[in-house]
Structure 1
């Protein structure tokens, strides 16, 4: 069986010790999959340490430890090489393939069409297509938690000037920035935002330099959508709000709060669908909503008790309303602009 070639420096593959699932196809009758482990492959265009991908990787490792899947992955796959790696994983007996195809949308869907008995669950800026029943999409719809973190940011900035550094102005980034900005405006409608995109998913030095420029331009709090921003905040003695992962322990005097993405509900739903034989084209983005357990506000850690009481009261009220469905955070996928 062919498997993706792995460069010892830039690519790693985690191989489970369980026996290979033989014979059954992804869409066999439910009874055939009752207690079987399924083979899952992850394909990532960045290192698994990167915020967004790390959450997918963590969820897959959790499912493997639980005994539900046998997991392997390849990281640092270029967009031009993505389709080839997809094909090789499909050929090597994987039942479910997960990853992110933001830069290879058309090619990825063409590959999926050639392997109708393999389930594909891919991060995408586009929606599912009923004509391609084995290709489902997801995205990190963690606007709920981003909104709550914005409330805290609005209460903590003294200058009323917040810097926001993102990777690319695509929907999955834009919606989080808009939600954060809306939360901050709850505390201070006159806050000014500096918004910039670095054109990369993983370039900490560039993100850091962009953040330095914002600090020089008056920002005393930064929205760290990318790695490198919190480093700049720490060096300059300003505050930061994290995104997707919790870095408070790494920046105890800098990161006040973080909006956390939990990919487990998304992946677990896909695994269950494959095992039941009813995986079909769907939008799994809903599993990232706070009400589904797909996002949360990280513990404040060293900033516990340091955020103004009025802000924390509003956070608790809004969080309860989000969870009971009486309040919905607006999803705005348009590119945010500086004030």
Structure 2
């Protein structure tokens, strides 16, 4: 009896296993780690890319994905690398395609079963090409309020990479925030036409400081170095570098890519990924951005300025104040 029962049990278990496999053929695949690749035209440590890389590394650390990435990929080589990753079985490919829009979209058309989430100034492309950018104009506005309250010369210098919408909207929001607190403030605006050239950004900053700017908007790496050397202040963008410049960087608008990455991963896993604009997932209300803690400047920023800034922060989160999205190229106002 015992032997018969054991044999029957084994037969039943085998039958049940076969039935489960028939009913859920994708079960094994669902349990496997999602293969994800990223392609970056700049180093991993560059501000913008570092936030995407950080969010993907977090998913990797949780055991959700098998993550591979390429940095410093030249525009001329971008399409080839995209195709290699698409042919390599990656379910999701992430990157920034500002200089290679046409080529990237062509690759997406050729691989309709692969999901693409790309930093782009363009629109989503059905069925599988989603776009994102750093919609962090909310904390950029707040950091501008801090800057307006900290300048003594009423002159603020601003150094950006390229005058594209993703950069322009942050600079315009920063300027609007500064003018709310200090209507007398004047701005000098310059673009270095590079995403990663710290020496060039540093030289541009020196020129502005020489003309009286005592607060610098550090949209690019290199600006805070110039501010530190000349003992003026700086406002950070995308990442918080106050630990490296404790007496220089007053505040920073932080970008959190996790809400966007986590959404994309969830949709890919369930087979529901479609072409959409991920920009809104970078808003403060969606935990995609925030103003960094004032840290070493907590007691140095005037109390009335902090109070105004915190009130505006609450209004943004409550939806009673919306930071204007102005993608036009910002202009210098200094005489």
Task: Give the TM-score normalised by structure 2.
Answer: 0.91
The whole-number CA distance in structure 2 between the counterparts of 1:39 and 1:135 is 17
**Equivalent residue for 1:220?**
214
Equivalent residues of 1:79, 1:104 under 8 A apart? yes
SS in structure 2 at match of 1:168? coil
- Taking a change above 3 Å as real, the CA distance of residues 52 and 326 of structure 1, as seen in their structure-2 partners, is same
- Residues 126-145 of structure 1: pairs in structure 2 closer than 5 A: 126-129=122-125, 132-145=126-139
- Check whether the contact 1:222–1:229 (CA below 8 A) recurs between aligned residues: yes
User: What is residue 70 of structure 2 aligned with on the other side?
Assistant: 74
Q: How many residues align?
A: 310
* 1:304 partnered with 2:267: no
Q: Partners of 1:56 and 1:29 in 2: how far apart? A: 33
Which structure would you say has the larger Rg?
2
Q: Hey, what does 1:13 align to over in structure 2? A: none
Mapping of 1:186-205 within 5 angstroms?
Answer: 186-205=180-199
Q: 1:335 corresponds to which residue?
A: 329
User: CA separation in 2, counterparts of 1:182 and 1:34?
Assistant: 48
Query: 1:248-263 maps to which residues of 2 (within 5 A)?
Result: 248-263=242-257
Residue 321 of structure 1 deviates from its aligned partner by: 1.2
- Which secondary structure does the structure 2 equivalent of 1:40 belong to? strand
Specify whether residues 301 and 35 from structure 1 end up closer, same or farther in structure 2 by C-alpha distance, changes over 3 A only. same
Residues 33-81 of structure 1, C-alpha deviations (whole Å, 9 max, x = no match): 6544210001000000100000000000000001111100000001111
CA distance in 1, matches of 2:25, 2:304: 54
Point out the structure with the larger helix share. 2
2:142 maps to which of 143, 148, 151? 148
**Alpha-carbon distance change, 30 to 332 in structure 1, aligned in 2, over 3 angstroms:** farther
2: distance between equivalents of 1:59 and 1:157? Answer: 34
1:238 paired residue number: 232
Residues 76 and 318 from structure 1, CA distance in 2 versus in 1: closer, same or farther, beyond 3 angstroms? same
CA spacing shift, 1:29–1:266, aligned 2, 3 Å: farther
Root mean square deviation of aligned Cα: 1.4
What's the secondary structure of 1:137's corresponding residue? strand
Q: Which of these residues, 240, 247, 256, is aligned with residue 241 of structure 2?
A: 247
Q: Is the 8 A contact 1:154 1:184 kept in 2?
A: yes
Unaligned runs of 5+ in 1: 1-27
Partner SS, residue 241 of structure 1:
strand
Q: Does the 8 Å CA contact 1:30/1:275 hold for their aligned counterparts? A: no
Deviation at 1:262, TM superposition (A): 0.4
* TM-score w.r.t. length of structure 1: 0.89
**Stretch of structure 1 that moved more, 28-37 or 164-173:** 28-37
1:287 aligned residue: 281
Displacement after TM superposition at 1:290 (Å): 0.3
* Cα pair 1:30 1:277 within 8 Å, conserved: no
Q: Please list the CA deviations of residues 153-199 of structure 1 after superposition, one character each: whole Å capped at 9, or x if unmatched.
A: 00000000000000000000000000000110111112100000001
Summarize the alignment of residues 1-339 of structure 1 with structure 2, pairs less than 5 Å apart. Answer: 34-129=30-125, 132-339=126-333
User: Secondary structure, in 3 states, of the residue corresponding to 1:194?
Assistant: strand
Deviations 1:174-226 (A, max 9, x none): 00000000110111112100000001000000000000000011100000000
Distance 1:179 1:229 in 2: 19
